[in-house]
């Protein structure tokens, strides 16, 4: 169950007229998006994967769960953020009943790599290296290092069983490596960009290794696509806020296991809309902790911020005798108290409430934010699918390194 409240704590700024005023431009953006077919295969949540492909993902994941103590996902940006967001959200904080999952290749830290190589020495390891281009430096340097470490331990046949490559079907360094090693390959869909790839084999495979029901995630995504009213309203709120000089949107979560998901939300908005000197700066915030640092700025600092908070009604049975309430109820009260305090200072908050953190709701939220960021880019006249700024640093770095 998901509820959207884009009214209570936006009162005085956003009203029914605001939603009506923007609905035509959302309609136009939606029609343009559907007509242009610009990298938009991700939007076909009902046709993304055939039954055969889903079974392949599930069987390969079962194999990994039986073989690995340590499953290392190598990738950067859109190649891992969405999967990590969903895995962290849907697995327990401490006791995990699947192979330990570690993420690598998302930095150029030599120390991280050295200690990972050391850590994996006495463990049964399986690697899943993910890159659409197959050439991203962080990913390939990390893959080379971990592959070398496996070669020092295993023969060719055994290594083949321990590497799964997700990359383009036609080109790139990783494709060459996969062919040379002869390992299992998943195809990174051509017509889907990295940050939109989580509900394809790219993200669903690691998510499935974590023991999560990927079919329910897809069910949730399909419903988000159908419930147009909610994303129309949210788009109107964002457009309206931007027009009033609210250039920063803070995404508040009150359940720390949603932190990685907010990092993916940050990516989807920043890379999809932050172009041509336009776009709202997305800032993730994990509360109540951050209320004791950033909270002051949001309450009384420069008024360039609006907020979207995700409220989880009930995710545990922990009951606080002293206050005669569930801890989760206290958390929701904290969220609404903050929204109310900020509202009193003319700072506005939309609230998305989910009954619990489950695969269906995570699929819903994933699709919801993907659709909103895309249509928002169309409304601003931006190409939603590219990330020329990211590519620029990659080019300069490559030329500095002479590679």
Q: Which residues are catalytic?
A: 271, 292, 394
**Contacts (Cβ under 8 Å, ≥6 apart) of 198:** 82, 83, 85, 86, 204, 207, 264, 366
Minimum distance of ligand PA5 from residue 297's CB (angstroms): 28
What is the distance between the alpha carbons of residues 352 and 7, in angstroms, rounded to a whole number? Answer: 11
Shortest approach of ligand PA5 to residue 320 CB, angstroms?
Answer: 41
| Nearest CB to ligand PA5, comparing residues 304 and 390 | 390
Q: Does 239 bind ligand PA5 (CB under 6 A)?
A: no
**Least distance from ligand PA5 to the Cβ atom of residue 195, Å:** 3
Closer to ligand PA5 by CB, 132 or 162: give it.
132
Buried b (16+ CB within 10 A) or exposed e, 253-275: bbbebbbbbbbbbbbbbbbbbbb
Report in angstroms how near the CB of residue 273 gets to ligand PA5 at its nearest: 13
Tell me whether residue 48 or residue 305 sits nearer to ligand PA5 (CB atom).
Answer: 48
- How many chain residues bind ligand PA5 (CB under 6 A)? 15
Q: Which stretch binds ligand PA5 (CB under 6 A): 5-13, 75-83, 246-254, 312-320?
A: 75-83
The 281-320 contact track toward ligand PA5, x by CB under 6 A, reads ----------------------------------------
Least Cα distance to 99 among 74, 75, 124 occurs for 124
Among 91, 106, 139, 331, binds ligand PA5 (CB under 6 A): 139
CA angle 340, 344, 350 (to 5 degrees): 50
Nearer to ligand PA5, 170 or 317 (CB): 170
Interface segment toward ligand PA5; rule CB under 6 A; list 8-16, 73-81, 89-97, 211-219: 73-81
Residues with Cβ within 8 Å of residue 37, at least 6 apart in sequence: none
Rule CB under 6 A: say whether 136 interacts with ligand PA5: yes
Question: For residue 284, what are its two tokens?
Answer: 């993730």
**Which H/E stretch holds residue 138?**
helix 137-151
Strand order in the sheet with 248-253: 2-5, 349-354, 305-312, 248-253, 281-286
82 contacts 197 by C-beta, under 8 angstroms: yes
Candidate ranges 19-27, 125-133, 151-159, 342-350; the one touching ligand PA5 (CB under 6 A) = 125-133
Q: Is residue 75 a contact partner of residue 106, using CB atoms and an 8 Å limit?
A: yes
Name the residue nearer to ligand PA5 (CB basis): 261 or 360: 261
d(CA 365, CA 171): 33
Q: Please identify, using beta-carbon distances, which residue of 18 and 370 lies nearer to ligand PA5.
A: 370
| Residue 76 binds ligand PA5 (CB under 6 A) | yes
> Which two structure tokens, joined as six digits, stand for 276?
């041509």
Q: What is the DSSP string of 170-220?
A: S-SHHHHHHHHHT-EEEEPPTTB-GGG-TTSHHHHHHHHHTT--HHHHHHH
- Taking CB under 6 A as the rule, does residue 133 contact ligand PA5? yes
Using the contact rule CB under 6 A, the part of the chain among 30-38, 109-117, 133-141, 146-154 near ligand PA5 is: 133-141
The CA distance from 279 to 152, in Å, is 48
> Pick from 230, 255, 271, 307: which binds ligand PA5 (CB under 6 A)?
271
Under the binding rule (CB under 6 A), the answer on residue 131 touching ligand PA5 is: yes
Our finding on whether 82 is near ligand PA5 (CB under 6 A) is no
225 vs 394 by CB, closer to ligand PA5: 394
Q: How far is CA 323 from CA 30, 219, 307, in A?
A: 48, 38, 28
One residue of 60, 79, 128, 287 binding ligand PA5 per CB under 6 A: 79
Q: Residue 336: in which H helix or E strand, if any? A: helix 327-344
Among 30, 84, 132, 233, binds ligand PA5 (CB under 6 A): 132
CA angle 340, 345, 349 (to 5 degrees): 50
Told to check if 390 binds ligand PA5 by CB under 6 A, we report yes
Site string for ligand PA5, 182-201 (x = CB under 6 A): -----------xxx------
Nearest CB to ligand PA5, comparing residues 132 and 184: 132
Q: How far, in Å, CA of 380 to CA of 278, rounded?
A: 8
Residues at the interface with ligand PA5 (CB under 6 A): 76-79, 131-133, 136, 139, 193-195, 271, 387, 390
């Amino acid at each position: 169950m998901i509820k959207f409240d884009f009214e209570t704590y936006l009162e005085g700024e956003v009203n029914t007229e605001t939603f009506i005023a923007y609905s035509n431009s959302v309609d136009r953006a939606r029609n343009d998006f559907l007509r242009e077919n610009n990298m938009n295969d991700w939007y076909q949540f009902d046709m993304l994967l055939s039954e055969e492909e889903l079974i392949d993902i599930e069987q390969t994941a079962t194999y990994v769960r039986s073989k690995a103590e340590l499953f290392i996902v190598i990738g950067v940006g859109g190649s891992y953020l969405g999967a990590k967001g969903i895995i962290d959200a849907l697995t327990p904080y401490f006791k995990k009943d699947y192979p330990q999952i570690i993420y690598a290749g998302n930095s150029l830290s030599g120390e991280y790599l050295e200690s990972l190589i050391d850590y994996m020495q006495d463990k049964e390891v399986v690697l899943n290296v993910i890159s659409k281009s197959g050439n991203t430096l962080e990913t390939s340097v990390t893959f080379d290092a971990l592959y070398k470490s496996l070669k020092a331990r295993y023969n060719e046949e055994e290594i083949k069983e321990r590497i799964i490559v997700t990359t383009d079907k036609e080109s790139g360094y990783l494709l060459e490596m996969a062919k040379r090693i002869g390992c299992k390959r998943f195809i990174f869909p051509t017509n889907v960009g990295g940050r939109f790839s989580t509900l394809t084999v790219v993200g669903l495979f690691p998510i499935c290794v974590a023991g999560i029901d990927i079919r329910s995630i897809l069910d949730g995504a399909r419903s988000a696509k159908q419930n147009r009213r909610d994303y129309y309203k949210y788009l109107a709120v964002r457009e309206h806020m931007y027009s009033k000089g609210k250039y920063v949107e803070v995404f508040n979560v009150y359940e720390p296991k949603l932190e990685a998901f907010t990092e993916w939300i940050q990516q989807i908005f920043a890379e999809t809309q932050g172009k041509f000197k336009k776009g709202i700066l997305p800032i993730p915030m994990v509360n109540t902790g951050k209320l004791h640092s950033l909270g002051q700025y949001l309450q009384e600092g420069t008024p360039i911020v609006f907020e979207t908070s995700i409220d989880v009604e009930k995710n545990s049975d922990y009951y606080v005798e002293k206050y005669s309430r569930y801890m989760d109820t206290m958390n929701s009260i904290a969220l609404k108290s903050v929204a109310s305090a900020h509202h009193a200072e003319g700072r506005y908050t939309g609230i998305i409430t989910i009954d619990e953190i489950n695969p269906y709701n995570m699929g819903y939220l994933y699709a919801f934010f993907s659709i909103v960021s895309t249509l928002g880019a169309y409304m601003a006249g931006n190409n939603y699918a590219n990330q020329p700024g990211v590519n620029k640093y990659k080019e300069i770095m490559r030329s500095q390194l002479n590679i």
